[in-house]
Amino acid sequence: MRSSSTAPRATAWRNAVFAVFVLNGFGISAWIARIPSVRDHLQISVAEVGILIFGLSAGSVLGLLVSGHLVHWIGGRQSIRLALVIAAFALAGIGIGTTLLSSFAVVLAALVVYGVCSSICDVAMNVEGAGVERTTGRTLLPLFHAGWSLGTVVGAALGSAAAFLGIDPVWHLAGVGLLLAISTLVVVRFIPAHADLGAEGADTTPLTFRERMAIWLEPRTLLIGLIVLGMAFTEGSANDWLALAMVDDRGLDNGQGALLFGVFTAAMTVGRIVGGPLIDRIGRVAALRWSGATAAVGLALVILVPVIPIAVVGIVLWGVGASLGFPMGMSAAGDDPARAAARVSAVATVGYFAFLAGPPLIGFVGDRIGLLNALWIVLVLILLAAFTAPAARERSGRFAKTVVAPVGPAAEN
C-alpha cells in the first residue's frame, strides 16, 4: 500500500508529465500554423518549404537516435528541461530568421535544432509517462497523448489568431518560445529527479552503451516496434491523406474534406481520453486486438462504401481504433525501468519512420490507383499490429508497489 505522502508526489508527477505533453504539442503547432506566413516572408517556393519540413524531419530522426542515450545519462527530467528550453530558443530563431533576417538558412538550421529537441522530449516524456503508470498502477499514456493533441489545438488556435491579426512570425514565435521556456522550468520541478521509475526490487543498474544498442536486436522490442509502426501508419495516413481522399475519390469539396478530418481527430482524442480505464480492465493484448479490429472495420468502410454517412461512421471507428496503439506501444516499451529509455527510443524511432515514410508511399501508390485504394496498405499494417499484440503483454508485477523519489523544490537538493 502506498504511503499517504507518496500519493501526492505521484499525483504531482502525473500532472507534470501531462503538462509536458501539452507543451510539446503546443510548441510544434506554433510552427505549423505559421508555415504560410514563413513562406510569404521568405518568398520561397513550395519545394523550398518542403526542404524546411525535411530539415525538421531530419532533426527529429537525429533526436530519436540520441534520445535513449541522453535520457539514460542525465535522466528524464533533465532531458525534458534541456530539450524544451532549447526548443523554445529554436522557435524564436525561426521567427528571427523569417522576419528580421529573411534568411532561409537560419530558418532551416532552427528547424533542425527544433526537430532534435522535440524528439528528445518525446522519448523522455514517454519514459516518464511509463514511470507514472508503474507508480500509480493505472494506464495513463493514452491520456497523456490526448494532452499532446490538446496542446496542438491550443497552439494552432493561437497561431491562427496571430496570422489573422497580422502579427509577424518573429513576435508570435518568440512569444510562444518564452512561454514554453518559462512553463517548462516550472513544470519539470515536479518530475522526480532520481526516480527509480519501477517496481520495488527492479534491476536499475545502468546499462552500458553496448547493452543499450543491443536493445535493437531484442525480439520483443522489435515486435512492439511493429505494433507501433502499424498503428502510427494508421494515424499518419489519416492525417496526411483523409481529407484529400474524400475530395478526390468521393467528390466532396475542400471544406467538407477538412471537416471529415476533424471528425477523425476528434474520435482519436476521445479514444485516448477514455481508453486508459478500458486497457486496465481488459489488458493491453485484448485492447490492441480490439483497437486493430475497430480501425480495420472503419477503414474498410471508408474505402469500400461511397455513402458519406456510412463513411463518417467508418472515420469515427478508424479514429477510435487508431487512438490507443501508439500509447500502448510506449507503455509496453517502458515496462522495464532499467531499459525504458533505450526501448522507448527504439520503438519511437520505428514508429516515427511510419510518419516519415508513410506519406510519400501512400502518395506514390495513390497517384496510380487512387488514394482510397492505396489505403489498403494501411489496413494490412493494422492487421499486422493486431497479430503481434501479444508482444505488448504486461510484465509480471507491473502494478506492484513502487518507490517515488521526492519531487518539487525539495528534489533540487
The last residue of one of the domains, among 174, 197, 220, is 197
Answer whether residue 397 is part of any domain. Answer: no
pLDDT score at 198: 41
Residue 53: CB partners within 8 Å, gap ≥ 6? Answer: 111
Answer whether residue 215 is part of any domain. Answer: yes
The last residue of one of the domains, among 155, 173, 197, is 197
Same domain, 122 and 183: yes
Same domain, 29 and 143: yes
Q: Of 200, 219, 128, 196, give the one whose Cα is nearest residue 338.
A: 196
| CA atoms of 240 and 272, how far apart (whole Å) | 20
Which value, in Å, is the radius of gyration of the alpha carbons in the chain? 21
| CA atoms of 121 and 379, how far apart (whole Å) | 30
Same domain, 29 and 108: yes
Answer whether residue 120 is part of any domain. Answer: yes
Q: What CATH number is attached to the domain comprising 159?
A: 1.20.1250.20
Residue in the block written with cell 498503428: 231
Same domain, 191 and 222: no
Expressed as residue numbers, the domain containing 324 is 209-392
Same domain, 103 and 164: yes
The last residue of one of the domains, among 145, 163, 197, is 197
Same domain, 143 and 237: no
Answer whether residue 408 is part of any domain. Answer: no
Same domain, 230 and 122: no
Answer whether residue 404 is part of any domain. Answer: no
| Amino acid type, 348 | A
Same domain, 296 and 153: no
Same domain, 137 and 272: no
| CA atoms of 318 and 14, how far apart (whole Å) | 29
Same domain, 241 and 167: no
| Residue 22, beta-bridge partner list | none
Whether 114 and 94 have beta carbons less than 8 Å apart is answered as yes
**pTM recorded for the entire structure:** 0.80
Helix axes 284-304 and 325-333, enclosed angle (nearest 10): 150
Answer whether residue 400 is part of any domain. Answer: no
What string of pLDDT tens digits covers the 413 residues of the chain? 444 455 668 899 999 999 999 999 999 888 888 888 888 899 988 778 878 888 888 898 899 888 888 988 898 999 999 999 999 999 999 999 999 999 999 999 999 999 999 999 998 999 899 889 888 888 899 999 999 888 888 888 888 888 888 899 999 999 999 999 999 999 999 998 765 444 444 445 666 777 777 887 888 888 998 898 888 888 878 877 787 788 888 888 877 887 887 788 888 888 999 888 889 899 999 999 999 999 999 999 999 998 999 999 999 999 999 888 888 988 888 887 778 778 887 887 787 777 677 767 887 888 888 888 988 998 999 999 989 999 888 875 444 434 344 434 334 33
Which sign does the torsion angle of CA 124, 126, 132, 137 carry? negative
pLDDT score at 175: 96
Domain count, the chain: 2
| CA atoms of 156 and 164, how far apart (whole Å) | 12
Answer whether residue 411 is part of any domain. Answer: no
∠ CA 313-314-318, nearest 5°, is 120
Same domain, 222 and 163: no
Helix axes 76-95 and 169-187, enclosed angle (nearest 10): 170
Answer whether residue 266 is part of any domain. Answer: yes
Same domain, 180 and 225: no
